[in-house]
Structure 1
Amino acid sequence: MSLPSLPQAKPLDHLAECGKAGDPALVLKGETLSYEALRTRVSRLSQWLIDHVPEKGSRVASWSSKGELTCLMPLAAARAGLVHVPINPLLKHAQAKHILHDCGASMLIGNKGRIASLQEGDVPHGCAVIEETEALSQAIVLESGLGPSDNDPEELCAILYTSGSTGRPKGVMLSHANLWLGAVSVADYLGMAADDVTLGVLPLSFDYGQNQLLSTWFAGGSVVPFDYLFARDVVKACAKHGVTTLAAVPPLWVQLTEIEWSEDAVAPMRRMTNSGGALTIDLVRDLRSIFPDARLFPMYGLTEAFRSTYLDPSLVDEHPTSMGTAIPFAEILVIDDGGNIADPGEEGELVHCGPLVAQGYWQDAERTAERFKPAPQVSKFGGMAVWSGDRVKREANGLLYFVGRRDAMIKSAGNRISPQEVEEAALASGLVAEAVALGVPDERLGHAVHLIARAERGAEDAESELPKYLARELPNFMQPQVIHWREAMPLNPNGKIDRTALKRELAA
């Protein structure tokens, strides 16, 4: 497909209409829904929602593992004129309480176990609580439902809560247009088609995870929602379902490269996508070795603007550490500290402009004003932009490179140190599978560099050899004062390495 200009956004529920009636749309454990069945289920669930939550714009939360309800809710709530609030099933009752109260939910639909975990005061006054099996059984027997809506694409459609790496989770407000155009953009640059099969391993409460559904359905393909316990479960599912598209975050990719892949799992794979952290050179090499015929798409995104950049697979081998260039419908500017466009090779802040920019944080004007500001005057889109706080540089060839987060930089003995640079050096040693660099308060230095590392399999001398390697490769001021070795890294609910937990642990 070709996207020469910005298309007209549609109400999100129209994604159910994109595939051919008889083609598979959703592969569940007990049945496969065709697009015709998907339309019927969305229609009836939408009607059921309106019957129970008639006030337009009300927030309806879902809290369950991947399945029919959690996959249908983004479209059904949108058709009903409601605002969907997906809660990550890995969260506990305290985090669910914060989200439910913060968004002012009118209804919570969840599975039996998660509802049973709720304690007194967790659910806001007037919020109905219903088990997903009951909701689906009541909806499916309705004689009629709602047809495709004519909702304004600029209306609020969903609130996605960030994982809360800094402070309490914030609710990012997304319109129909944000999600629709995101689906169109990703389906285009990934080259997705109606015969594609996407394995949905990422949480649907995660913007990257939810787009697994939306972009696949825009292309008319099918989605296999999948919750896994072990990396080998992902391999088995890829082989069983002939998966052509796999999206993951770096910690999962690391696990997947450490196990054997069957030919049945490798052969159908057409594309792999990564976001939520940069791929290392070694990880790119390993993935290219396992999947020589699949296209690898490194990507960068932030929930406040969904997705910002991707690296064309043809450039991955030559520029494996690049963030690439802007995705369709995104304008990415690099702004220096003086407010001007940064020169090639000069570090600046990544500013995302255009129709993928979210509507701000739910009922949080202060934090919205910090991140959502008027676009620079040179922007072709204008309006509000997301000032990411991420430091990047654009080289003369147009490719972007991540430098680090402004608030994550380690300031030690007057030096400004990028954690990513220390981490990349550790990973380049071949002794380390995963690495996180953090600044720990130090009376003498201000902050000392601490490195948390997980040794590469078979690197029995990693603990003694890594300090020697870093001494050769990094300047003195960047040397870790302490290296902490771990058997496993803590992960946050979206599957990323939980830097906040590690920082808290070191501060204890």
Structure 2
Amino acid sequence: MKSSSPTPHPVPLDHIILKGRSDDIALIIKDEQYSYERLNLYIGRFAFWLRSQNVNSGDRVACWSGKGIIACIMPIAAARAGLIYVPINPLLKAGQVAHIMHDSGAKLIIANKGRLAALNEHDENIENFAIYEEQQVFAALQNDIPSWPMNPGDLDVDSLCAILYTSGSTGRPKGVMLSHANLTLGAQSVAHYLAMERDDVTLAVLPLSFDYGQNQLFSTWYAGGAVVPLDYLLPRDVVKACEKYCVTTLAAVPPLWVQLVEQHWPEEAVRHMRRLTNSGGALTQNLVQKLRSFFPKSKIFAMYGLTEAFRSTFLDPDLIDTHPTSMGRAIPFAEIMVVNKNGEKAAPDEEGELVHAGPLVAKGYWQDAKRTSERFRPAPDFSEYGAMAVWSGDTVKRAADGLLYFMGRDDAMIKVSGNRVSPTEIEEIAIASHIAAEACAIGRKDEKLGEAIILFVRAVDKEAGDNQDKLSSYLRQNLPNFMQPQEMIWLDIFPKNANGKLDRTALIEKIQG
């Protein structure tokens, strides 16, 4: 089923800022305001600076930074310069960043001094790419350097524009390849169904390395509004920012919403709020009711997405009280199908795999033909769009009224505070410590986190008295906070199935009682 859509208008990524009036505010970082005219000037200078760093069209460039001016405009500056942008979550550790740098073949990375020092200490092959401190780069943009010209309107919008790394259910993060059209149609789609306007102010609290977080910038700028990036320490910081900047749009994931409804919200923080958006996990009926009590005049948008196709569905805010567990219907420019086990269109209320077709479908996984062929396959014969589709691996059903419902996930991914966590990555790090002979990470439902990580471990030396402390210390040094196990369970023998493989089901039963 296709959504009711505006006419798709894919453009080069650097064209999305053209709808904003030159003197309107586009970006507010702390107390510094950037008009659309000033933003465009910095983007042009940044693009020129990038092309001056011994890079060529099609080269990859990375940023491992918080939400400063560099991280906010680099995706557009890189696109204008004909480069491919690789954003890196600032919460990742040096080992994970090194993997992304070498896997993507990025020619340069911009980060702060502390992160660059950690990367230099960890990566013996750091000479393979150039490193730049972000404050030095920003200082260069203050100079009267030339501005790289805007991309022509006839640029091939299907050309590669960015690589977003997302955790896979097996192994290290994989890079999802996104085109100019993927990104700009995503911005147009969201701006349309959220009904965003020039006077909207979006508080960007989500990491800009996520498709959901990055789209906070793009959809707001497509509508001509203003973005306020926020690296918050406490939920209270979000409330204060909503009050200070008269925020109209707030996007979050369920664990953050749980924290936010525990805060005191003064009238000034709520008064201007037009819409709340949620993805990265389902809202519960109880959470919806709490949000309603704080934001009685705001529209609540529940959404479902996957990085391989950006966003798939949203629920009409008018239905969230009566259908709080529904994923809704397809967003503009998406065709969402439910395919049963026979490869046919599922009947109403029949479970099947969610398959996403249309122009939001990514170009596959970077340098990984095998995994690309597993996830990106021809659309079913009954598809209206046809061509290549994303077979999500998620089980859903469509009710008689057309609303979709999530039933389960086929892979073993753990979703912690909106972050997709690869069990295999945690397990590999645990075993690399030489403290764990075997390890298995499993998610357990948690009211605040969405899921908590439980790590089963078999020790190399079970007689050692400090295995727990040593392994905990090692994991803290090599994994970000959101990937830390909440609990470790030590076993003498891991259960195996008939094929000799680890029996995850048996371990799941252990933590479920």
Relative contact order (alpha carbons < 8 A, sep ≥ 6): 1 or 2 greater?
Answer: 2
Contact 2:176 2:364 in 1 (8 A): yes
The aligned amino acid for 1:145 is S
Name which of structure 1's ranges 275-284 and 108-117 shifts more when overlaid on structure 2.
108-117
The aligned amino acid for 2:139 is S
Partner of 2:50: 49
Contact 1:309 1:324 in 2 (8 A): yes
Contact 1:45 1:140 in 2 (8 A): no
CA–CA distance in 1 between the matches of 2:284 and 2:160?
Answer: 37
CA–CA distance in 2 between the matches of 1:98 and 1:394?
Answer: 39
Partner of 1:384: 388
Q: Shift in Å at residue 494 of structure 1?
A: 11
The aligned amino acid for 1:170 is K
The aligned amino acid for 1:162 is T
CA–CA distance in 2 between the matches of 1:34 and 1:507?
Answer: 56
CA–CA distance in 2 between the matches of 1:494 and 1:39?
Answer: 34
Partner of 1:25, secondary structure, is strand
Partner of 1:443: none
Partner of 1:231: 235
Partner of 2:418: none
CA–CA distance in 2 between the matches of 1:255 and 1:247?
Answer: 14
The aligned amino acid for 1:291 is F
Q: Aligned to 1:142, which of 134, 140, 144?
A: 144
**What is the TM-score when the length of structure 1 is the normalising length?**
0.81
Partner of 1:328: 332
The 1:321–1:454 alpha-carbon spacing in structure 2 relative to 1, beyond 3 Å, is: closer
Partner of 2:219, secondary structure, is helix
Partner of 2:52, secondary structure, is helix
Q: Aligned to 1:162, which of 163, 166, 171?
A: 166
Contact 1:203 1:494 in 2 (8 A): no
Contact 1:100 1:124 in 2 (8 A): no
Alignment of 1:358-507 (within 5 A): 358-408=362-412, 452-453=445-446, 501=485, 505-506=488-489
Partner of 2:327, secondary structure, is coil
Q: Aligned to 2:252, which of 248, 254, 269?
A: 248
Partner of 1:323, secondary structure, is strand
Q: Shift in Å at residue 233 of structure 1?
A: 0.7
Q: Aligned to 2:189, which of 185, 188, 205?
A: 185
Q: Aligned to 1:277, which of 277, 281, 284?
A: 281
Q: Shift in Å at residue 133 of structure 1?
A: 1.2
Residues 395-453 of structure 1 deviation map (CA, whole Å, 9 limit, x = unaligned): 000000000012359xxxxxxxxx99xxxxxxxxxxxxxxxxx9xxxxxxxx9x99554
Contact 1:97 1:122 in 2 (8 A): no
Q: Shift in Å at residue 166 of structure 1?
A: 3.9
Name which of structure 1's ranges 218-227 and 158-167 shifts more when overlaid on structure 2.
158-167
Contact 1:26 1:222 in 2 (8 A): yes
CA–CA distance in 2 between the matches of 1:505 and 1:390?
Answer: 28
CA–CA distance in 1 between the matches of 2:337 and 2:303?
Answer: 16
Contact 1:60 1:108 in 2 (8 A): yes
Residues 39-91 of structure 1 deviation map (CA, whole Å, 9 limit, x = unaligned): 10001101111111431110000011101000000100000000000110011
Gaps of 5+ in 1: 410-418, 421-437, 439-446, 457-489
For this pair of structures, how many residues does the alignment match?
435
The aligned amino acid for 2:116 is I
Contact 2:340 2:353 in 1 (8 A): yes
Partner of 2:455: none
Partner of 1:111: 112
Partner of 1:9: 10
CA–CA distance in 2 between the matches of 1:122 and 1:270?
Answer: 49
The 1:340–1:506 alpha-carbon spacing in structure 2 relative to 1, beyond 3 Å, is: farther
CA–CA distance in 1 between the matches of 2:375 and 2:490?
Answer: 28
Partner of 2:308: 304
Residues 76-109 of structure 1 deviation map (CA, whole Å, 9 limit, x = unaligned): 0000000000110011101100100100010111
The 1:141–1:123 alpha-carbon spacing in structure 2 relative to 1, beyond 3 Å, is: farther
Partner of 2:265: 261
Residues 443-483 of structure 1 deviation map (CA, whole Å, 9 limit, x = unaligned): xxxx9x99554599xxxxxxxxxxxxxxxxxxxxxxxxxxx
Partner of 1:397, secondary structure, is coil
Partner of 1:386, secondary structure, is strand
The 1:303–1:501 alpha-carbon spacing in structure 2 relative to 1, beyond 3 Å, is: farther
CA–CA distance in 2 between the matches of 1:404 and 1:228?
Answer: 32
Q: Shift in Å at residue 31 of structure 1?
A: 1.2
The 1:373–1:253 alpha-carbon spacing in structure 2 relative to 1, beyond 3 Å, is: same
The aligned amino acid for 1:300 is Y
The aligned amino acid for 1:79 is R
Contact 2:94 2:122 in 1 (8 A): no
Residues 156-210 of structure 1 deviation map (CA, whole Å, 9 limit, x = unaligned): 0000001455421010000000000000000000000000000000000000000
Partner of 2:202, secondary structure, is strand
The 1:123–1:36 alpha-carbon spacing in structure 2 relative to 1, beyond 3 Å, is: farther
CA–CA distance in 2 between the matches of 1:301 and 1:67?
Answer: 26
The 1:60–1:507 alpha-carbon spacing in structure 2 relative to 1, beyond 3 Å, is: farther
